[in-house]
Amino acid sequence: MALFVRSIKYAFQDIGRNFGMSFMTVFILVLMLLSVNTLWSVDVVTNEAIKLVKEQINVSVYFSADATDKNVEDIQKYVKSFPEVIDFTLLNREQVLESFRQRHSLNGEVLQALDELGDNPFGPTAIIKTREPNDYQKIITALDLPEYNNLIEAKSFDENREAIDKIHNITKRLETMVLGLAVLFAIISFLVIFNTVRVAIQGQRMEISIKRLVGASNWFIRGPYVLESLVFTVVSVALTAGVVFWGLNFVDKYLAVVFPSAFSLTNYYFSHILSIFGVQAVAVLLLTILSSGLAMRRQLKV
């Protein structure tokens, strides 16, 4: 226990002696982690945006006014038999008529023409949603049967694939750029930590020689440098978490305008805080231990 406490003491002494390089190490690690969290956030927002667009896609099936309730019920059972269908909403003739009146409430000529008909000219309307946009064409094709020709007047597909493709393209470019920055900062972090440990060892060659002469173990000599890696990891992850949550407060204000649902990146990070920052802490610890380990292997040959 006493040896471990001494190792901690020596580790903080080394950090203090090389405060400038230690600060630069933490700074680069924070930049790397911020890049990773930006990449993570972009992916989360993209998935939410695509989910929102997909929710707006549906197939509307307009039945003729002559279609009976039995006809509509048979078609409903037929469509629901497809595993791709997740929702089938049926609007009766009165609901369709009321919806039409609301859409044209400011157009007196249209409403006057409708009143002159004296009868409801609309048939029921079905709104169908599937799991994926690719599934809609299958449903449309399945309804192109001869026995349904006189029952279905039209089918409309609200295609938003172009919007989804644009979101994917923009996201891929942004992710590529951010990933490149993260890799660059990781390489810089590796080199900075390597040189920090190398300089620290070179400045303490006499002390290390004395420790070896009095029988100090390899762990006692290497321990402080390993603990430095742990300190760099804890400090950089803690600072990154603080900066991330501070920044998310501003980002959520703009996301609230784009997403009508109660989507919040802050809530997402809070609900996944252990997995997000836990993975990042392990990755940074491996990076710091690897770089410091290589430096010790090359320099600790006293």
* For residues 56-74, average pLDDT: 83
CATH number at residue 88: 3.30.70.3040
Question: How many domains, in total, are found in the chain?
Answer: 2
Average pLDDT, the chain: 76
Span 236-259, pLDDT tens digits: 889 999 999 999 888 888 888 777
Least confident range of 9-23, 38-52, 141-155? 9-23
The last residue of one of the domains, among 100, 127, 159, is 159
Cβ(196)–Cβ(297) below 8 Å: no
Length of the chain as a residue count: 302
Instruction: Give the domain extent around 105.
Output: 58-159
* C-alpha–C-alpha distance, residues 115 and 52, integer Å: 38
Cβ(29)–Cβ(232) below 8 Å: yes
Q: Write a three-state SS string for 144-190.
A: CCHHHCCCEEEEEECCCHHHHHHHHHHHHHHHHHHHHHHHHHHHHHH
Span 214-223, pLDDT tens digits: 555 555 556 6
Same domain? For 168 and 294 the reply is yes
Give me the helix-helix angle, 93-103 and 108-117, nearest 10°: 150
Mention every residue, 6+ apart, whose C-beta is less than 8 A from residue 122. 65, 93, 96, 97, 100
- Supply 118's token pair: 């004296």
Share of the chain above pLDDT 90, in %: 3
Supply the pTM of this predicted model. Answer: 0.67
Same domain? For 177 and 44 the reply is yes
Write phi, then psi, for 261 (nearest 5 degrees). -75, 175
Same domain? For 44 and 177 the reply is yes
* The pLDDT value given to residue 4: 54
Same domain? For 104 and 122 the reply is yes
